[in-house]
Amino acid sequence: MEQLISRNRKAYHDYHIEETYEAGIVLKGTEVKSVRGARVNLRDSYARVEGGELYLFNMHISPYDPANRFNHEPRRTRKLLMHKSEIGRLAGKVQQKGYTLVPLKIYLRRGLVKVELGLARGKHLYDKRRSIAERDQRREMGRAVKERMQNQ
């Protein structure tokens, strides 16, 4: 069973997500408490392979208030946990033109904090407009069907 904590909606707007991967994350005690309280922001965060290890940059975890002076730095670089072969495969794909690793969501699975990473390619402005138009069309169709069902 998995409990969703935070989702990066902007990633789906800004990127074409081609593959997804699950990774564990190394956190301090106060960070785990804040994550369980859903005080996480994934906007503008990204992952990168450095020295054969995977790191998550720019993810904001709010300080845990009761911890006062023992708190963590909100935007520190955090290590992600994956098998070495998976990291090597990801490193090869990221080196291809236009690919990046973007965190899509953070969740709890069996009491452990996990991050879903997406292998992503950036969207052009016209792709973003097309995505918005498709979303609006789906919404309109849903409204029309709902309205039709109510009239019957």
Which tokens is 110 given? Answer: 């069996």
Residue pLDDT, tens place only, 35-86: 888 889 888 898 989 988 999 999 988 888 777 777 778 888 999 999 999 9
The residue among 65 and 103 whose pLDDT is bigger is: 103
Does any domain span residue 50?
yes
Write phi, then psi, for 15 (nearest 5 degrees): -135, 155
Does any domain span residue 127?
no
Does any domain span residue 138?
no
Domain extent, residue 42, equals 2-122
Does any domain span residue 17?
yes
Which tokens is 72 given? Answer: 């963590």
Does any domain span residue 61?
yes
Domain count within the chain: 1
pTM score of the predicted model: 0.78
CATH number for 72: 2.40.280.10
Which tokens is 112 given? Answer: 């452990």
